[in-house]
Amino acid sequence: MSKSKFFQSVQNYFDKAARYTNLDDGLLHQIKTCNAVYRINFPVKIGNQVKVVEAYRVQHSHHRNPTKGGIRYSRHVTQEEVMALATLMTYKCAIVDVPFGGAKGGVKITPWEYTGDELERITRRYTAELIKRNFIGPAIDVPAPDYGTGAREMAWIYDTYQTFKGGDVIDAAGCVTGKPTNQNGIRGRTEATGRGVFYGIREACSIEEDMKKRGLSKGIEGKTMVIQGLGNVGSHTGMISQDEGGVKIIGFGEVEGAIYDPNGIDIHQLLAFRKETGSILNYPGAKSFPKEERDIVMEFECDILVPAALEDQITMENVDRIKAKIIAEAANGPINSGAQEKLIERGVMILPDVYLNAGGVTVSYFEWLKNLSHMRFGRMEKRFNQRAFTNLVELVEEKTGKIIGDREKSVVARGADEIDLVRSGLEETMVVAYHQTREILNMNGGLNDLRTAAFVNAILKISNDYQSLGIFP
Ligand code: NAD
């Protein structure tokens, strides 16, 4: 699928969902269209040469501010791709009730071809360009990590913003999220997207009726999983699914190839093995497939397939060979619209990106709130709660005459830390959004997939905002 097809795919999903809403055409057009597209070419000194870097920032929707979305570093970046991803961000935020418009950034480079110093120069210059045009700021547009970027790049962005604006803007730390925790970041942000993917899969598996339709038993425990991409999202999805969900992971795919072992592969040991050898290939006990055959990972027999690398991984070319019963879209846009129709016909459950990978933006929202409040979550109430719970436990002891052991006491009478609150807020968000989406799916005759239901949910919420302005009918 070319990049313009990815954008078209997102627009097709919107049009399909819009038919279930009865909204005015003008309003639908306003929701669908990209509000601002900024394309830049800037020079950066690399070695003895000057490289002109092509980059983008797209703000899809200003119905809520700031706008929000990750920055991607990849040689595949195009305007259409960034537009598609910014568009998805608007709907994603609406689905999980995060009060932002959608945005996305892209820098057309292959990050591993540059040294750390060079990447820093590129990142700082890109940020300066955004500052110049007022395309970044805690109340304007707040970037975050995406494919090819992480906490390190976010720290450079924050520092550059501080340098230019820190004197005037007391909330400067809220200009970007996904920062390191010692740089005004939040605990739990790095794992957030993967953790959200896990909560989404777990919730879907908890509904007996939906599992039965796919010949599966209720509950996530014991289900088999295959993961494509062992970066931030893929590795955290895998670790949390294995450790907290009791999932058996039987296959992995990375750039260097794929591996498969029906008896299960411990993800922690695999990550350590890859760190040591530089590859997942030849992992003891697993069958290895070389780089040229790496796409076979999508075709492994399993209950849950997790594409967590890039878009356009399941197409008309390979859709008939996909054997998974549930496809959990951790990556953005891994299934194209034609292939999706075929999978739905076959009864495959697709947990759509627009809902499933919203954990990152949800915890980014928590980080932004923390930055605006200038205080860590839990600081005010932790000790108070701890004391109140202890008093309660002591009262129970006194009234019943039974002594509660120190271990139990420390579990019951514990005040929540920032990480506990972040995880709890994320779990609540993913669970509520899943049931809202499923309800829309079951209420609308003719609707047969969660993606369209999620889009309907988003369109209705965004239209409410516009309608309350009195501009649209
Ligand atoms: P990342 O750069 O940390 O990881 C991507 C991984 O995929 C890398 O390890 C890379 O080697 C691997 N990969 C690339 N091409 C591959 C191929 N052809 N086959 C197998 N593996 C391949 O990126 P990430 O942040 O984990 O993002 C992954 C996906 O999740 C992207 O689609 C991104 O848009 C989406 N996403 C990320 C976040 C986030 O918070 N990071 C949030 C929402 C969505």
What tokens appear for 366 in the block? 């928590």
Distance CA 291, CA 423 (A): 36
- Kindly tell me if the per-residue pLDDT of 337 is higher than 90: no
- Kindly tell me if the per-residue pLDDT of 2 is higher than 70: no
What's the pLDDT at 338? 87
Domains, the chain, in order of start with CATH, read: 37-183 (3.40.50.10860), 215-347 (3.40.50.720)
What's the pLDDT at 466? 87
What's the pLDDT at 70? 96
Q: What is the pTM of this model?
A: 0.94
Top mutation candidate among 232, 239, 364 for ligand 1, by most atoms within 8 Å of CB = 232
Q: Euclidean distance between the first and final Cα of the chain, in Å?
A: 37
Residue 104 annotated among the catalytic residues of the structure: yes
Cis peptide before 66 (omega within 30 of 0): yes
pLDDT above 70 as % of the chain: 99
DSSP code per residue over 380-395:
TTHHHHHHHHHHHHHH
Rounded to an integer, the average pLDDT of 54-69 is: 97
Q: Which atom of ligand 1 is nearest to the CA of 294?
A: 19
**pLDDT tens digits along 266-320:** 999 999 999 999 999 999 999 999 999 999 999 999 999 999 998 889 999 999 9
Closest listed residue to residue 88, CA positions, set 73, 71, 101, 72: 101
Alpha-carbon dihedral 316, 318, 320, 321, rounded to 10 degrees: -170
201 near 304, Cβ under 8 Å?
Answer: yes
Catalytic residue among 104, 248, 325, 370: 104
What's the pLDDT at 4? 64
Q: Which residues line ligand 1 (CB under 6 A)?
A: 145-148, 193, 228-234, 253-255, 294, 308-310, 330-332, 357, 360
- Kindly tell me if the per-residue pLDDT of 1 is higher than 60: no
Distance CA 249, CA 162 (A): 43
Using left for φ > 0, alpha for ψ between -120 and 50, and beta otherwise, residue 374 falls in left
